[in-house]
Amino acid sequence: MGPFIARRLVRMVLVLFAVSILVFLIFNVLPGGGTDAAARRIAGKNATPQLIANVRKDFGFDESLPQQYLTMMKQIFSGSLVSYQSQLNVMDQIKQGIPATFSLCIGAAIIWMAFGVLFGYLSAVHAGRLTDRGLTILALAGISLPVFWLASILIVYLSQKIPIFPNGDFVPFQDDPWQWLVHLILPWTTLAVLFVGFYSRVLRSNMLDVMDEDYVRAARAKGLGEHQVRTRHVLRNALIPIVTLFGLDFAAVIGGGAIITELIFNLNGVGQYAAQSIGNQDLPPIMAVTLFGAFFVVLFNTLVDVAYAYLDPRIRLGTSAELA
Amino acid sequence: MPEPYADAAVEPKTLPVDDFSSDDSTGFEGRSPWYLAWRRLRRNRVALAFLALFFLIVIFVLAAPLWATQVAHTGPDTTHTTEKITVDGKKKDVVSLDGQPIGPVWFGAAGKFFLGADGSLGRDEMVRLMYGGRISLFIGIVSALITTILAVVFGLLAGFYGGKLDSAIGAIMDVIWAFPVLLLGIALGTALSVGNGLQLGPITIPGNSIWIPILIIGFVYTPYMLRPIRGEVLGLREKEFVEAATAQGAGTLRIMFSELLPNLWSTIIVFFTLNIANNMLFESALSFLGAGVRPPTSSWGSMSSQGFTLLTSQPQLVTIPGLMILLTVLSLNVFGDGLRDALDPKSKITLRARGGQIEPEKAST
C-alpha cells in the first residue's frame, strides 16, 4: 500500500504542477492582439492606463516567464488576488460561495446516484422490453438537455405558472433547514437529470455484461432466487465501475460543472461567482476558480484512487496503470 | 462475430457464375462489413427516424434566407424597435413603450414576427432562430472535425510509436483531462475574447470570431477521443496484417494511414456523430455564459442567454432555442447510438458527459 500511495502522490504533484502551468499559459502568456495584451485582459474592460500599469506591476509582467509564473501562483494562493473591476478580494468571494456549491452538488449527487442505479437496474432486468426502451429514450433525452433549458422550464412551470417551488436563492442550512431543502429541490433536479441518464445507461450495460459471468451461473445453480442473484451478485459487481465514475463526476461538478445551475437559480455559489465574472469580463476570479476547480478534481481523484486500491488489491498490485 | 454467418445462412447464395470478385469458395456471398452494418442500421427504425429529424433541422436552418426574404421580409440583425405591425387587423407595437417585445403572432402578420420579437431591439425571433441554428450546427460540426483530426493523428502516432512520444502525448492529455471541461472552455473563451483575440504568427483571429469557440471546443475534447483511438491502435499494432505489411516493406506512414486507419473508421464515425451532439451542447453552455459566440454573431445558446432576462414575460425566447438544441442533440445521440450498434455491436464506446463534458469509455473487462 505504501509504495502505491507514494507513486500516486508523486503523479498527483506532477499533474498539479502541469495544471498550474496551463492556467498560467492561458491567462498570462496566450498571445492576444497588441502589446500588453495579458495585462489589459486582467485589468478588464474600460481599464485606464494607470490600472493596466498596476496590473503589470502586480503580476510582474516585466520579469521573466518563470518569475511571472511564481508571482501569479503567489497571488492566487496567498489570497491576495483582487478583482480589478470590483476591488473585491477573490479568495473571500470564493469562500463565501462554498456552502451553496457544496449543498447543491452533494444533494444532486445523492439524487443522481439513487435514480441512476434504480433506472439502470430496471432497464437491465427488463432488457429489450418496453420498460427498457422507454428508459433508454429517457436517458438519451436526459443527456441531450441543455442545462439552462431544463432549469428555465422548471422555473416557468413549477415556480411561476404553478407556484410550488421558489425560483431560486440559497438559504443556509443552519438558518432554516426546511427552506434550505425547498429552495434546492429544483436546482438539484436540474443538475441530477444529466447524470441519471448516463448512470442508468452505464449500469445497464455493466449489468448485462456481468449477467454472463460464471459466478452468476454458479449462484443460480446453487439455487438462489432470481432476486437475490440480481441484487447481491449482479448489481454489486456492476456497481464497481459506477463508483469510480461517481468519484470523477462528483469532483468535476464541484470543480465547476454546476456553473449554469448556480447562475440560473441565483444560488450565490462559487459557480455563480465565476459566471458573473464572465459577464463582467473580469478575469482574476475566473483564473482562481479555474485553478482551484482543476486542483480539486486532481486531489479528489487521487483520493478515490487510493481508497480504491485499499478496497481492491488488484489495483495496487500491477494493473494499476490501466485503472489509475 | 456470429452474426455475419447467421445473415449468410438465412439467404443461401445463388452463386453468380461470372462474378469472380467474390473470392469466397464456400458458396456464400462475401459481404463487406459496411454492408452488414448498413443492414443492421436499416432495421433500427428509431435511429433512422431520428436521423430524419436531424435532416429536417438542417433543412430548417438552410432555409433561413428563404424565410427571411420571402416571408418575414427582414434580416436576423434588422431592428424594428419603433415599428408597428398589423396582427389580425389590429396595429401592435413590435416593442411596447416599456421595452417588452411582442410575443409569438404565428401567421397573424403573414409570417412576420412568427415567434415574436427578441427583446427591446425588436428583431424577428424566427429569422434569428433559423440563422442562429446555422451557427450552432456549423460550430458543432467543424469543432468535431478538429477534435477528430487531432485525436486520430496523435492517437495513431502515440499508439504506433509508443515509448517517449506516447508518454509525452499522454501527459499533455492528462493535464487537459484534469480540468473540468466547462471551466477550461470558459478560461480560454474569456481570455481570448477579452483581449483582442488570438495572434499566432501571421494569423490573427479577432476576439468575436466564431473560430475562437470552434478551436476551443475542438481542442478541449481531444483527449476524450484520443485515448480510445490510441488504445485501439495499440491492439491493432500487434496484428498479423501489420507484420505482413512490414514484411512487404511498407513504411511507417503507409502502415499508419493505409493499414491501421481503415480499421479505425467505425470508431471514428461513431465518435464523430456523438461529438457533434456533445459539442453543440457545450457551445450552447459556453454561449449561455457569455464565453462562446459573441455579438454580432448569435447561436441558439447566445439567443437563450439574451432571452433569459425576459424569462418571466416571454419564456419562449429561452425555451424555443433551447428546444432546438435539445432536438438536434437528441437526434444525433439516438442516431449515433444506433450507428454504434450497427457498426460494432460488441463495442462499448460511449461518450459520457462529466459536468458537461464527455468521456469515452471502453468496457474494462
Q: Which amino acid is at A222?
A: K
Confidence of residue B266 (pLDDT cuts 50, 70, 90): confident
Q: Which pLDDT tens digit goes with each residue over B131-187?
A: 999 999 999 999 999 999 999 999 999 999 988 999 999 889 888 888 888 999 999
**Least confident range of A34-43, A186-195, B255-264:** A34-43
CA distances from B45 to A75, A305, B39, B42, B330 (A): 58, 42, 12, 7, 15
Q: Is the pLDDT of residue B3 over 60?
A: no
Q: Is the pLDDT of residue A321 over 90?
A: no
Instruction: Choose from A31-40, A150-159, B35-44 the range with maximum mean pLDDT.
Output: A150-159
Selected residues 232-271 of chain A with any CB under 8 Å from a CB in chain B: 241, 245, 248-249, 252-253, 255-260, 263-264
How many helices (H) does chain A have, and how many strands (E)? 16, 0
Confidence of residue A34 (pLDDT cuts 50, 70, 90): low
Selected residues 165-184 of chain B with any CB under 8 Å from a CB in chain A: 171, 174-176, 178-184
From chain B, the residues in CB contact with A297 under 8 A are 178-180
Q: Given this model, what pLDDT does residue B107 score?
A: 86
Q: What angle is formed at CA A227 by the lines to CA A221 and CA A231, rounded to 5 degrees?
A: 100
Asked whether the beta carbons of A91 and A77 are under 8 A apart, the reply is no
Q: Given this model, what pLDDT does residue B362 score?
A: 36
Q: Given this model, what pLDDT does residue A295 score?
A: 92
Q: Is the pLDDT of residue B2 over 60?
A: no
Q: Given this model, what pLDDT does residue B11 score?
A: 45
Q: Which residue of B has its CA nearest to A191?
A: B355
Distance from CA of B15 to the nearest CA of A (A): 37
Q: Given this model, what pLDDT does residue B44 score?
A: 87
Q: Given this model, what pLDDT does residue B359 score?
A: 41
Q: Which amino acid is at B332?
A: L
As a whole number of angstroms, the distance between CA A160 and CA A145 comes to: 21
Selected residues 71-110 of chain A with any CB under 8 Å from a CB in chain B: none
As a whole number of angstroms, the distance between CA A293 and CA A310 comes to: 26
Q: Is the pLDDT of residue B9 over 60?
A: no
Q: Is the pLDDT of residue A160 over 80?
A: yes
As a whole number of angstroms, the distance between CA B357 and CA B275 comes to: 11
Please give the span between the terminal C-alpha atoms of chain A, in angstroms, as a whole number: 14
Assess whether the previous peptide bond of B180 is cis (omega < 30° from 0): no
**Least confident range of A44-48, B47-51, B115-119, B216-220:** A44-48
Q: Given this model, what pLDDT does residue A33 score?
A: 58
Distance from CA of B252 to the nearest CA of A (A): 27
Closest CA to B219 of B271, B184, B194, B268: B184
Q: Given this model, what pLDDT does residue B274 score?
A: 92
Q: Given this model, what pLDDT does residue A4 score?
A: 84
Q: Given this model, what pLDDT does residue B358 score?
A: 41
Closest CA to B182 of A90, A187, A294: A294
Q: Given this model, what pLDDT does residue B34 score?
A: 86
Tell which wins on pLDDT, A263 or B110: A263
**Least confident range of A155-164, A222-231, A313-322:** A313-322
Q: Which pLDDT tens digit goes with each residue over B230-245?
A: 988 988 988 899 999 9
Q: Is the pLDDT of residue A36 over 80?
A: no
As a whole number of angstroms, the distance between CA A259 and CA A104 comes to: 11
Q: Write the CB contacts of B37 (distance below 8 Å, at least 6 apart in sequence).
A: B266, B342, B343
Q: Given this model, what pLDDT does residue A275 score?
A: 94
Confidence of residue A194 (pLDDT cuts 50, 70, 90): confident
Asked whether the beta carbons of B330 and B274 are under 8 A apart, the reply is no
Q: Which pLDDT tens digit goes with each residue over A233-257?
A: 899 888 888 888 888 889 989 988 8
This model of the complex carries an ipTM of: 0.90
Half-sphere exposure (Cβ direction) of B74: Cα atoms closer than 13 Å: 24
Selected residues 33-62 of chain A with any CB under 8 Å from a CB in chain B: 33-34, 37-38, 40-41, 44-45
Q: Which pLDDT tens digit goes with each residue over A41-84?
A: 888 777 788 888 888 888 888 888 899 999 999 999 998 899 98
Q: Is the pLDDT of residue B32 over 90?
A: no
**Least confident range of A296-310, B136-150, B293-307, B323-337:** A296-310
Q: Is the pLDDT of residue B90 over 90?
A: no
Q: Show the beta-strand stretches assigned E in chain B.
A: 84-87, 90-93, 198-200, 203-205, 350-353, 358-361
As a whole number of angstroms, the distance between CA B165 and CA B170 comes to: 8
Q: Write the CB contacts of B220 (distance below 8 Å, at least 6 apart in sequence).
A: B176, B179, B181, B184, B185, B188, B357
From chain A, the residues in CB contact with B305 under 8 A are 148
Q: Which pLDDT tens digit goes with each residue over B272-309?
A: 999 999 999 999 999 999 999 988 899 999 999 999 99
Q: Given this model, what pLDDT does residue B341 score?
A: 84
Tell me the percentage of chain A whose pLDDT exceeds 70: 95
A32 touches chain B (CB under 8 A): yes
In this structure, the number of other CB atoms found within 10 A of the CB of residue B172 comes to 16
Asked whether the beta carbons of B186 and A274 are under 8 A apart, the reply is yes
Q: Is the pLDDT of residue A324 over 60?
A: no
Flag whether the pTM goes above 0.90: no
What mean pLDDT is predicted for residues B245-266?
A: 90
